[in-house]
Chains A and B, each alone.
Chain A
Amino acid sequence: MNTTLTLSKAAPQRNVGRWVVWGGYALIMLVAPLLWASSLSLTMLSQMGIAIVACLAFNMLLGQGGMLSFGHAVYSGLGSFFAMHALNMASKGQIVLPVSLVPLVAGGFGALFAVLLGFVTTKKAGTPFAMITLGVGELVAAMALMFPGFFGGEGGISGNRVVGQPFLGITFGPQIQLYYLIAIYTFICTALMFAFTRTPLGRMLNAVRDNPERVEFVGYNTQYVRYFAFIASGFFMGIAGGLAALNFEIVTAEVVGAQRSGAYLLFTFLGGAVFFFGPIIGAVLMVLALVLLSELTQAWLLYLGLVFTFMVMYAPGGISSLIMMNLRVASFGKLRGLLGSYLALVLTSAMVLAGVSVMIEMLYHLQLNEALGSKMKFLGLTVDAQGMGSWLVAGVLVALGLALFEWARRRFKAQWNLAQEQIEAQIKQREVAV
């Protein structure tokens, strides 16, 4: 009696939460271009939408299926090429195709190539799967340069997304109109991919990730489960590729390349593969890093590699798992006690970061900008990259920062563990009470 009561109470509550989350997601996409209205931020927001679809599609394999693909740009890239050709055919009047449906064509081709190539790659799981996807990725990337007729060689192929008569005044010429098209696709694709995790196939995919032997024993063919998930992922990758083709109006061979695949992997992981919403964070970071960080510093790839490596070592769940861990602590009212330690951690790590990044920037400056002399700007300060003093200051900053950080880390760890113990105890108490 008691349990049914709590269940019926809990169910509508969870649905309200879900409405709030999805409504907020839609609202953010709706108002974002109004808050950041400059043309740079508008292109970045469009790219974020595309990246969200791509990273979520990538995570269908990585997070939900435990499949690490090193060549997933193939499906978004081929989608882009077919979208561009479809767009060009439409503008020549060879086929009738509204611009708003071009991404669907790309998705179809993405899925088609996933059917073809995925049949080979999903024969294996785990590490061999990763290597085979890498090989297939290289194969397609090399072929893209071998057939200039279709792929346009080094220069790529370009097109114009304003095709046919305007519908209700919408031509997709202005970036803002395209942004809303991308936003609609992003929202629907996010919803569909979330729905996919709740289907029997999505559940079996989780089971295949966790215990393939047992899945085989129950009577499922793990290869087919992987294959079907791969096709679904290819479809959404294709849609992302089609949106990208519309957004940039040019497609070059690098969209199928290893670097693009690596970026999807890196940022999906940084965002967090464990939770469904992790890749969304990763996608936003991806655009910020590729557009802003690469403008800010020449050493951005080094920073990215360092962050990624530390993330793998210390927080393999990515940013989203860090958020969820803190939310759990907060929901038990323990976060307030940790705030002081967090502040200490942030301050000390900022010290280390400042010291290390000054050194890295000085090194890069010496290596790449020899002609400009040894003086350089760093955070508004002028630093002499060859001066003994600047290296000394940076070194002291790093050493001191590391020592203080270690102290703050130990303090934080003790407090964190205590909070976790108390939470465990509370959960046990509740269980007993029920």
Chain B
Amino acid sequence: MDISYFLISLLNGLSVGLLLFMLASGLTLIFSMMGVLNFAHASFYMVGAYVAYSITQVVGFWWGLLLAPPIVGAMGAAFERYALRRVHKFGHVPELLITFGLSYLILELVGLIWGRQALNFQPPVSLQGPMFTVVDLPTALQFAWGAPPGVCASTAGAVCTTFPAFRAFGMGVAVLMLVAVWFLLTRTRIGLVIQASLTHPDAVEALGHNVPRVFMMVFGGGTALAALAGVIGGALRVTEPSMALAVGAVVFAVIVIGGMGSLAGAFVASVALGVIESFAVGSDKSVLDLLRLVGLNLTPDSFGYVVWSVKTSQVAAILPYLFLVLILIFRPKGLFGNREG
């Protein structure tokens, strides 16, 4: 493994991980506040991408990035106010079920409004090129801003790998969001009320705060974060009706691995998963190679050859769930969780 490949894989993994964290943070926030697992969280992610696409068609990407989160957040808040709050008294299972029903509805409505084909949702022109290039010369490792420099073409044996600007932008947005959420929760008056409502809702209510409204704001805020992730994710990957399903289950795995309700855990788990997946995708090693290292040579006739010969790149997609199972066996409360569910 050469160093430029390592660097780019690491950066790609980080960007995937940060995108996952944008989703997981909203979900964790809602879960730890209200005890509600928002099954439709990934659906709001999808709606964010679609709304931003529509705004982009009219006034450009930046307005889409700016306006889609509040619009989707308002939708989320309305859903909390008129549907979720109503079933709150029935218990946690109906709460989960109604968000499950919502995910069905959103999927159908998105297909109805925007069609079932993938949309051509592109990053703005200013962010479409590469941000920097890792130039791996036989003699030295160099970095260059922007597109691959001339040395790539002129030198024999030079390996140049570019890193897209929009990926970097997405990482920047995620980090900014992380800091903003942290600041909001720990350093502002609103954040203190939210934190207090989490542990002592009755006392907060007695002090004159409207706790149901706080919950509504948290739900709206969480879905707005999902929509922000959707704008980035939609432009970075592909905007299509199946995008919610693709990312939804992974995000659930992330917050279980990180520990239910722990923001720090969600951060560590999503970044770790992103990086590990990014390296796994690029590797064609299998358990066979590992066994060969210790001197065991298996043939296609050996027991379980089909399982041992599966390549790491094939396993990449299911790694989150494998980690989920392992974590549950060895540390049921998750990496950073502090309570047993």
Contact = CB atoms under 8 A, between A and B. Distances in A.
B87 A120 contact: no
Contacts of B97: 68, 265, 269, 308, 312
Contact of B328 (A123, A127, A142, A308): A123
Interface string B90-128: 101110111011101101110110010000000000000
B96 A130 contact: yes
Contact of B321 (A128, A135, A262): A135
B83 interface: yes
A17 interface: no
B87 A313 contact: yes
Nearest to B104: A305
Contact of A139 (B96, B98, B255, B322): B322
Interface bin, chain B:
35 or more
Interface string A118-156: 001101111111111011101100110011011000000
B77 interface: no
Contacts of B328: 120-121, 123-124, 132
B242 to A, nearest CB: 11
Interface in B63-101: 83, 86-87, 90, 92-94, 96-98, 100-101
Chain A interface extent, by class: 35 or more
- A interface, by DSSP: helix, strand, loop or mixed? helix
Contacts of B256: 128, 131-132, 135
A188 interface: no
A14 B112 CA distance: 52
Contacts of A120: 325, 328-329
Contacts of B307: 147
A312 B94 contact: yes
Contact of A127 (B35, B320, B329): B35
Contacts of A292: none
Contacts of A138: 249, 253, 318, 321
B101 A302 contact: no
B179 interface: no
A342 B219 CA distance: 37
B306 interface: yes
A269 B97 CA distance: 9
A134 B306 CA distance: 25
B322 to A, nearest CB: 7
A124 B324 CA distance: 13
Contacts of B31: 127
Contacts of B332: 123-124
A316 B112 CA distance: 28
B336 interface: no
Interface in A255-271: 258, 262, 265-266, 269
Contacts of A126: 92-93, 341
A392 interface: no
Contacts of B314: 146
Contact of B252 (A66, A134, A266, A316): A134
B280 to A, nearest CB: 13
B285 to A, nearest CB: 16
A138 B98 CA distance: 21
B232 interface: no
Contacts of A258: 245, 249
Interface string B251-269: 0110110001000000000
A125 B260 CA distance: 13
A99 B174 CA distance: 57
B310 to A, nearest CB: 6
Interface string A141-180: 0110011011000000000000000000000000000000
Q: Which of A68, A128, A306, A367 has the most CB of B within 10 A?
A: A128
Nearest to B245: A258
B203 interface: no
B37 interface: yes
Interface in A193-225: none
Interface in A57-73: 62, 66, 68
A309 interface: yes
Interface string A37-50: 00000000000000
A338 interface: no
B317 interface: yes
A143 B318 contact: yes
Contact of B325 (A125, A136, A146, A302): A136
Contacts of A367: 111-112, 115
Contacts of B320: 135
Given A134-B249, A149-B306, A265-B100, A128 B108 contact: no
Given A136-B321, A363-B112, A127 B83 contact: no
A12 to B, nearest CB: 38
A219 B202 CA distance: 32
A123 B146 CA distance: 51
Contact of B101 (A68, A130, A312): A312
Contacts of A121: 328
A89 interface: no
A304 interface: yes
B324 A135 contact: yes
B260 to A, nearest CB: 6
A364 interface: yes
A184 interface: no
B83 A128 contact: no
A32 interface: no
A306 to B, nearest CB: 7
B87 A316 contact: yes
Interface string A337-375: 000000000000000000000000001100100000000
Interface string B109-151: 1011001000000000000000000000000000000000000
Contact of A309 (B105, B253, B324): B105
| Chain B CB within 10 A, most for which of A129, A138, A301, A364 | A138
Contacts of B322: 139
A423 interface: no
A312 B86 CA distance: 10
Contacts of B101: 266, 305, 308-309, 312
Interface in A108-125: 120-121, 123-125
8 contacts: A130-B96, A131-B253, A132-B328, A136-B325, A262-B100, A266-B101, A304-B104, A308-B104
Leading 3 A-B pairs by shortest Cβ distance: A305-B104, A139-B321, A128-B341
Interface of A: 62, 66, 68, 120-121, 123-132, 134-136, 138-139, 142-143, 146-147, 149-150, 258, 262, 265-266, 269, 299, 301-302, 304-306, 308-309, 312-313, 316, 363-364, 367
Given A123-B332, A127-B260, 16 more contacts: A120-B329, A124-B341, A126-B93, A128-B256, A131-B37, A131-B255, A135-B253, A135-B325, A139-B318, A146-B314, A146-B315, A266-B104, A299-B108, A309-B83, A312-B94, A367-B111
